[in-house]
Amino acid sequence: MSIINKESIIILLAAGNSERFKSGSKNIEKQFFNIGNKTIFEICLENILSLQLNLKILPVISKKKLNNTKKICKNYNTLPPIIGGETRQESVYKALQKLKNQEIKYVLIHDAARPLLDKDVILELYKNMNNNVSCVAPCLKINDAIRKIEKGSKLRALNKNEYTLIQTPQLCCFSDLLSAHNKLNNDYDDESSLLFDKGYKIKTIQGNRISSKITYFEDLEYLKPHINKSMNNYITKIGIGYDVHRLIKCKPNETNKGIILGGHKIASNYYLHGHSDADVLLHSITDSIYGSLNHLDIGQHFPPTENKWKNSKSSIFLKHSLNELNKREGKIIHIDVVIITEFPKISVHSNKIKSSISKISNISEKRISIKGKTNEGIGFIGRKEGIAVLTNTTIQLKDYES
């Protein structure tokens, strides 16, 4: 069983106004600053999802940003975002209020201004949580010398070994955190400090400097290479597709029907029978794309029992599967096809078939391989009763799917 308790939830704080970040002449909140074509908020969500914690995420957003953020949250399958408060602490309190009637035992509180997370740190948080502990927080040693500024210019030396830096995510016992919030008098920067002051037991673990917080604009400079690396976190998936359609000999008035393979019509006195245009090749490719996405199959998306798909072009089906791939920001790496038939001779037509598929799908011909094979006269294919197609499609996807 996973160490991560299913009664946990993540509160993702993104309601701040980024005053210090904006002092670097930027007029945008740090969590909505773009790196590449994504905001820090989106990058943070992707990185959380890539850890495959399987926990629900409750984003907390400022009122003015709520509408812009709803769509992003939907794309990343979070809970609907809620409006935060004037301070970080108020934002946490609003989230706790929202969740208080649900059966939540633990809450992971994280700053969206820390887009990079370390799964080992999170596992360690859970390992150290028990019934006697109210909060586990990741901490870092201080490397530099520290001085206390007194009366403007006077500097008093402090022993750095007596101090620690506190990061997020922090794992808190939900009911203790809510009780502590109900007894508030000061403003606290983080949950462990609040809980500690209210007499609850705190544990600290070793954090990771990669989860440092973007506070000033300059902070992005050293985080950027790490953020870019996290955004290139792709996985490869392979989908398989298979389809078969019956070959029918044309009646004298049907001679121009032809055999349609990959949207390319091959003149023949046979045609393929089906509810749609019976393009057995496009069906097989389409199904292999659905397979790589783990997203149903062609018969479920386009039931042959539905009249509206009668005689329809199979390019519609292929385009739908590619649209689903796009929604998940996936890319086709390669499509490899075997057409098993006694006729027509595929090698004669393979370039035209490739070019047709490429035009329909916008996939480079270099990424499409079309091979033909006879069935050595054996079975229904050997008897020229049908054509079968096998396809493997390799895709690349961001690694945040569960």
SS3 (DSSP) at 314: coil
- What's the min distance (Å) between Cβ of 30 and ligand CTP? 7
20 lines the binding site for ligand CTP (CB under 6 A): yes
327 Cα distance to chain centroid = 10
- What's the min distance (Å) between Cβ of 31 and ligand CTP? 5
Using the minimum distance from each CB to ligand CTP, give the nearer residue, 114 or 367: 114
Greatest extent of the chain over all pairs of C-alpha atoms, in Å: 103
- What's the min distance (Å) between Cβ of 223 and ligand CTP? 13
Across-strand partners of 13?
Answer: 60, 111
153 Cα distance to chain centroid = 49
Of 13-21, 69-77, 248-256, 377-385, the window that binds ligand CTP (rule: CB under 6 A) is 13-21
- What's the min distance (Å) between Cβ of 96 and ligand CTP? 13
60 lines the binding site for ligand CTP (CB under 6 A): yes
Contact of 111 with 213, CB cutoff 8 Å: yes
The C-alpha angle with vertex 125 and arms to 123 and 126, in degrees rounded to 5, equals 65
328 lines the binding site for ligand CTP (CB under 6 A): no
Distance, CA of 12 to CA of 9 (rounded, Å): 10
Using the minimum distance from each CB to ligand CTP, give the nearer residue, 209 or 310: 209
CA distances from 252 to 64, 255, 256, 269, 272 (A): 69, 6, 10, 9, 16
Beta carbons within 10 angstroms of residue 303's beta carbon:
12
- Dihedral through CA 114, CA 51, CA 325, CA 31, nearest 10? -10
91 lines the binding site for ligand CTP (CB under 6 A): yes
Contact of 288 with 247, CB cutoff 8 Å: no
Using the minimum distance from each CB to ligand CTP, give the nearer residue, 111 or 191: 111
Using the minimum distance from each CB to ligand CTP, give the nearer residue, 112 or 387: 112
215 lines the binding site for ligand CTP (CB under 6 A): yes
13 lines the binding site for ligand CTP (CB under 6 A): yes
Distance, CA of 120 to CA of 101 (rounded, Å): 30
* Chain residues 111-170 in contact with ligand CTP, contact rule CB under 6 A: 111-113
Of 69-77, 85-93, 116-124, 287-295, the window that binds ligand CTP (rule: CB under 6 A) is 85-93
- What's the min distance (Å) between Cβ of 3 and ligand CTP? 26
Of 14-22, 149-157, 325-333, 368-376, the window that binds ligand CTP (rule: CB under 6 A) is 14-22
CB-based contacts of 87, cutoff 8 Å, min separation 6: 187
Using the minimum distance from each CB to ligand CTP, give the nearer residue, 19 or 103: 19
Distance, CA of 337 to CA of 135 (rounded, Å): 55
Which residue in the set 32, 47, 88, 283 belongs to the binding site for ligand CTP (CB under 6 A)?
88
Which residue in the set 8, 9, 11, 18 belongs to the binding site for ligand CTP (CB under 6 A)?
18
Query: Which residues contact ligand CTP by CB under 6 A?
Result: 13-21, 31, 60, 84-88, 91, 111-113, 213, 215
